[in-house]
Chain A
């Protein structure tokens, strides 16, 4: 098989190179391929039945757009937050702000009337829980000259008097920067909702109501976790509408480019639709939900599924071109014989990459994404080897003259030959690229900022900025206090200890404001006894009696957000200036230390809660599990490749492009400044499953030819180039498919799509260069040792 035109050094005996293993058999699938082509109805049934079964799960699909879905429900911060939600009812509310132009007082009759009306009417909306808070619901705590307690409403709904309201508000320091902006130019309404994770309808109704109530010159801004979740749900709906048509167009175009005949793309389209339907249906079948990240699933599965179709169809077209006199059935059987094993191998490894997510990730949306992604990949494999051949042997024929893509094939062939002939240069180049990539990858950081889920200029971000600028911000950190017994927090000691904790927390520079029921007890003490400001009661039962007095004159529910019904639990709430994980981490650590110390001193139990603590908790989990998740995915892919290729060498060679793809992925994150957060943390595991496909196809084809006695350069020509072309189009259509995800309204999903597309292309070029280079290097070594 030697070629006299080739230089001597190029005549490499590759029989014992790294990609070969002793006794490697040439696997043929004559019975299998004969059955597929010979029993079309049975084949179609076998292929379509699982699709029908999985698609049945579509009926049970349920959406959950919340960021909370990523939190393990047995995490201490989650449990504390759920307890706080149950007890105090103000976790993850919707926040509505009526804002005047900066510097213009919001204490004017129209704005006060609007806030008062909105406070009353929003409480009647379905999905709103009791306990709406604003200065329209709050009372001032005053004492008359004779020492009697008065609790007048800050806004008297029957006679709105802006000056009177302003005077009353200024008597209540705890309301500053929480319900009224620092400059008194914006008023906040906090609206607890029944289910912050499904608040689309109620927040839409709130917005309508607020816009209707707002007088001219007053803008309405909505924020809060419930609003953000509702906005994310809108993103999911919007993305779903865009993703599928865009994916069809993009994938269709690349299929057309690869298969070069309009009707030849019908079969692959059936495969991508069937596999995407199965993956999404599997969500319902396993009782999972359609999370934010799941929006990308159909596109991801479609992009992956198309690769198998390209390999089979190109193999069929090549078989037809090589034997134009043979029947279509014979050509299809030959194509199945050729690609069935690589398709199965690559599908199993890709599925295992997804399964790595299911095994390694503590976050349910990510784990479930892995599981149903694996289902989609395996269904694509099944359809590609059953339904697809039946369609393609009728629709995918090409005249021999157009069966080759001469320019692309020539380019790919040159890459393979250059790598084989200059393996040192190829490996050195790869080493330089990977080293540079490793340096860039070392810059990647774990971080999370909920703002990253929204595009700049999004209403939610505008509202969030307003909260940060004019109020204490919307980044809440709570400490839940448990006195151990009912009425236990209404003693003078308990109040003094709570206020002490409050002051210690306020001393942390990153914490803007801290509130608790101690504020109100202090005010009552001060005003009922003409005590100095800041003084606290020292008679044991005074707080209980002040509260009793307040209940006799005010609304007993006024303290529900700070003190529970049994007066056993209290909430101390801090407002952080920044919501970014990396910024809040040291603050939460410091607060944790203060709380622990305080708890030991006082004997009162205390636990961290609130949005910031929950975010911190699950980001810690993500950080701890990420290496495990990626490691599990890579190991499973390698093990599968090892078992299926039956050799350490070939499995390791097939994995090299994967590793280069993953390193490049992290490098891109480091260079662009993309944080490792829930969505982006999935990329490497998925990329591992995808990237190995190219290595497997190339290694399998190459060693198949070497096993037949061809030397390396001969093996790198002919059908190997067709496989390279199939890999190229697979990678490009895969990359294009993932790029569709970049059309998302959610920035993190855009990054997710672009990063996997980048990793897939990195793996492809790694495979194109590294497989021939390593085969060549190891052949030379063997030749020089045994010559």
Chain B
């Protein structure tokens, strides 16, 4: 009898809270994260991506032609570097497999050695090509892995965006992804995080990603101007994508590691 009363009471309380949240225009963290994860992201895209790496007033620029496609099981990213001249002709190819059981693969073609090298499987926390982005950031593409985080909503910011907070589900996950938690501002119109501040596994502020510009190709949104600031080292990387367009008819052979030496000349 008591048990039935308790269940009834819980149901009433849950219903009241949900109604209350809806009345205030708020969402739960899980709901926000789900909306972000379900954002369309599969359209093949191409453009020129530029990384401006900054440190104490100095900067280095790397620019590459980019081709990004998605098969049912794998995100594929091809970068053919043109700048600086010393790495012109260098091509980078990565396969990010959706299946957790499959290890992601990365290759780099170096003209100086005339060979394609397999880059050892990187941890998601590792730096992506010397930038302040991690391989995990690139792989996640502004989507928070639902298996990695425990989400909570932090209400709305003054600009109307949702505040989404995440805490790594375990210490092991925190070590793997390099983050212990995050606070993000999420645009409810696009379900795209416009700013994310990550903490390290120890809870210390680590880095902030600020997205200034989004562009749409097909149904997929791409951040075409954003900055990653590392609060520990003081370094930052400004990433811009120009000429973003739908990559129609991209030759599948471009994504063949064995032909990576020819990719640079054949990029659309």
| B90 close to A (CB within 8 Å) | yes
CB-contact partner of A150 in B120, B204, B232, B233, under 8 A: B120
| A86 close to B (CB within 8 Å) | yes
B118:A86 contact, CB within 8 angstroms: no
- Tell me the nearest residue of chain A to B172, going by C-beta: A158
| B60 close to A (CB within 8 Å) | yes
A528:B202 contact, CB within 8 angstroms: no
Q: Tell me the residues in window 21-79 of chain B with beta carbons closer than 8 Å to chain A beta carbons.
A: 53, 55-56, 58-60
Q: How far is the CB of A737 from chain B (nearest CB, A)?
A: 50
| A557 close to B (CB within 8 Å) | yes
Q: Which residues of B contact A567 (CB under 8 A)?
A: 60
B86:A541 contact, CB within 8 angstroms: yes
CB-contact partner of B117 in A86, A487, A528, A539, under 8 A: A528
Q: Tell me the residues in window 548-590 of chain A with beta carbons closer than 8 Å to chain B beta carbons.
A: 548-549, 551-557, 565-567
B90:A149 contact, CB within 8 angstroms: no
Q: How far is the CB of B170 from chain A (nearest CB, A)?
A: 14
Q: How far is the CB of A84 from chain B (nearest CB, A)?
A: 14
Q: Which residues of B contact A544 (CB under 8 A)?
A: 84, 86-87, 112
- The CA of A728 and the CA of B42, in the complex, are separated in Å by 97
B58:A566 contact, CB within 8 angstroms: yes
B113:A486 contact, CB within 8 angstroms: no
| B119 close to A (CB within 8 Å) | yes
The digit string for B100-131, where 1 denotes a CB below 8 A from any CB of A, is: 00000010101111010111101000110111
B120:A548 contact, CB within 8 angstroms: no
Given contacts A124-B204, A545-B87, contact A556 B130 (CB under 8 A): yes
Number of interface residues of B (CB under 8 A): 34
Q: Which residues of A contact B85 (CB under 8 A)?
A: 541
CB-contact partner of A487 in B84, B113, B232, under 8 A: B84
Q: How far is the CB of A314 from chain B (nearest CB, A)?
A: 65
Q: Which residues of A contact B56 (CB under 8 A)?
A: 86, 565
- The CA of A490 and the CA of B62, in the complex, are separated in Å by 15
| B92 close to A (CB within 8 Å) | yes
Q: Tell me the residues in window 141-159 of chain A with beta carbons closer than 8 Å to chain B beta carbons.
A: 144, 146-152
The digit string for B208-229, where 1 denotes a CB below 8 A from any CB of A, is: 0000000000000000000000
A549:B108 contact, CB within 8 angstroms: yes
- The CA of A540 and the CA of B87, in the complex, are separated in Å by 11
Q: Which residues of B contact A552 (CB under 8 A)?
A: 92, 106, 108, 119, 122, 129-130
Q: Which residues of A contact B92 (CB under 8 A)?
A: 552
- The CA of A553 and the CA of B87, in the complex, are separated in Å by 16
- The CA of A528 and the CA of B204, in the complex, are separated in Å by 38
- The CA of A150 and the CA of B131, in the complex, are separated in Å by 19
- Tell me the nearest residue of chain A to B204, going by C-beta: A124
- The CA of A701 and the CA of B85, in the complex, are separated in Å by 86
- The CA of A151 and the CA of B202, in the complex, are separated in Å by 25
The digit string for A262-289, where 1 denotes a CB below 8 A from any CB of B, is: 0000000000000000000000000000
Q: How far is the CB of A767 from chain B (nearest CB, A)?
A: 60
| A542 close to B (CB within 8 Å) | yes
Q: How far is the CB of A90 from chain B (nearest CB, A)?
A: 14
Given contacts A130-B232, A487-B84, A491-B86, contact A545 B130 (CB under 8 A): no
CB-contact partner of A545 in B86, B106, B127, B131, under 8 A: B86
| A546 close to B (CB within 8 Å) | yes
Q: Which residues of A contact B117 (CB under 8 A)?
A: 147-149, 528, 549
Q: Which residues of B contact A546 (CB under 8 A)?
A: 110, 112
| A529 close to B (CB within 8 Å) | yes
- The CA of A548 and the CA of B87, in the complex, are separated in Å by 8
| A370 close to B (CB within 8 Å) | no
- The CA of A554 and the CA of B126, in the complex, are separated in Å by 7
Q: How far is the CB of A453 from chain B (nearest CB, A)?
A: 33
Q: Which residues of B contact A144 (CB under 8 A)?
A: 118
The digit string for A471-490, where 1 denotes a CB below 8 A from any CB of B, is: 00000000000000011001
B108:A146 contact, CB within 8 angstroms: no
CB-contact partner of B122 in A491, A540, A553, under 8 A: A553
- The CA of A5 and the CA of B226, in the complex, are separated in Å by 107
- The CA of A567 and the CA of B55, in the complex, are separated in Å by 12
- Tell me the nearest residue of chain A to B53, going by C-beta: A565
Q: Which residues of B contact A566 (CB under 8 A)?
A: 58-60
- The CA of A549 and the CA of B115, in the complex, are separated in Å by 12
Q: Which residues of B contact A529 (CB under 8 A)?
A: 113
The digit string for A151-193, where 1 denotes a CB below 8 A from any CB of B, is: 1100000000000000000000000000000000000000000
- Tell me the nearest residue of chain A to B117, going by C-beta: A148
Q: How far is the CB of B139 from chain A (nearest CB, A)?
A: 14
- Tell me the nearest residue of chain A to B61, going by C-beta: A486
Q: Which residues of B contact A528 (CB under 8 A)?
A: 113, 117
Q: Which residues of A contact B113 (CB under 8 A)?
A: 528-529, 542, 545
Q: Which residues of B contact A540 (CB under 8 A)?
A: 86
Q: How far is the CB of B171 from chain A (nearest CB, A)?
A: 12
Given contacts A124-B204, A542-B113, A544-B87, contact A551 B119 (CB under 8 A): no
Q: Which residues of A contact B110 (CB under 8 A)?
A: 542, 545-546, 548-549
| A537 close to B (CB within 8 Å) | yes
Q: Which residues of A contact B106 (CB under 8 A)?
A: 552
Residue from A148, A149, A545 whose CB has the most chain B CB atoms within 10 Å: A545
Q: How far is the CB of B179 from chain A (nearest CB, A)?
A: 15
- The CA of A547 and the CA of B112, in the complex, are separated in Å by 12
- The CA of A640 and the CA of B56, in the complex, are separated in Å by 53
B127:A551 contact, CB within 8 angstroms: yes
Q: Which residues of B contact A491 (CB under 8 A)?
A: 86
Q: Which residues of B contact A86 (CB under 8 A)?
A: 56
- The CA of A555 and the CA of B131, in the complex, are separated in Å by 10
- Tell me the nearest residue of chain A to B87, going by C-beta: A548
Q: Which residues of B contact A551 (CB under 8 A)?
A: 127, 129-130
- Tell me the nearest residue of chain B to A492, going by C-beta: B112
B55:A545 contact, CB within 8 angstroms: no
B115:A486 contact, CB within 8 angstroms: no
Q: Which residues of A contact B126 (CB under 8 A)?
A: 553-555
Q: Tell me the residues in window 143-174 of chain B with beta carbons closer than 8 Å to chain A beta carbons.
A: none
Q: Tell me the residues in window 496-540 of chain A with beta carbons closer than 8 Å to chain B beta carbons.
A: 528-529, 537, 539-540
Q: How far is the CB of A550 from chain B (nearest CB, A)?
A: 9
Q: Which residues of A contact B55 (CB under 8 A)?
A: 565
- The CA of A551 and the CA of B127, in the complex, are separated in Å by 8
- The CA of A149 and the CA of B112, in the complex, are separated in Å by 14
A539:B119 contact, CB within 8 angstroms: no
- The CA of A652 and the CA of B131, in the complex, are separated in Å by 73
Q: Which residues of A contact B86 (CB under 8 A)?
A: 487, 490-491, 540-541, 544-545
Given contacts A490-B86, A528-B113, A566-B58, contact A548 B130 (CB under 8 A): yes
Q: Which residues of A contact B130 (CB under 8 A)?
A: 548, 551-552, 556
Q: How far is the CB of A171 from chain B (nearest CB, A)?
A: 15
- The CA of A542 and the CA of B122, in the complex, are separated in Å by 23
Q: How far is the CB of B52 from chain A (nearest CB, A)?
A: 12
Q: How far is the CB of A136 from chain B (nearest CB, A)?
A: 15
Q: Which residues of A contact B60 (CB under 8 A)?
A: 486-487, 565-567
- The CA of A544 and the CA of B204, in the complex, are separated in Å by 33
Q: Which residues of A contact B90 (CB under 8 A)?
A: 545, 548
- The CA of A380 and the CA of B85, in the complex, are separated in Å by 72
CB-contact partner of B233 in A146, A545, A557, under 8 A: A557
Residue from A537, A549, A551 whose CB has the most chain B CB atoms within 10 Å: A549
- The CA of A372 and the CA of B177, in the complex, are separated in Å by 58
Residue from B59, B84, B122 whose CB has the most chain A CB atoms within 10 Å: B84
- 25 examples of A-B residue contacts, CB within 8 angstroms: A86-B56, A124-B202, A130-B233, A149-B117, A149-B119, A150-B120, A152-B120, A487-B86, A490-B86, A528-B117, A537-B112, A540-B86, A541-B85, A542-B112, A545-B90, A545-B111, A546-B110, A548-B108, A548-B130, A551-B129, A552-B108, A553-B119, A555-B127, A565-B55, A565-B58
A149-B120, A542-B113 known; 12 other A-B pairs, CB under 8 Å? A86-B56, A151-B120, A487-B84, A528-B117, A539-B112, A544-B84, A544-B112, A552-B129, A553-B119, A556-B131, A565-B56, A567-B60
What 3 pairs between A and B have smallest CB-CB spacing?
A544-B86, A551-B130, A542-B112
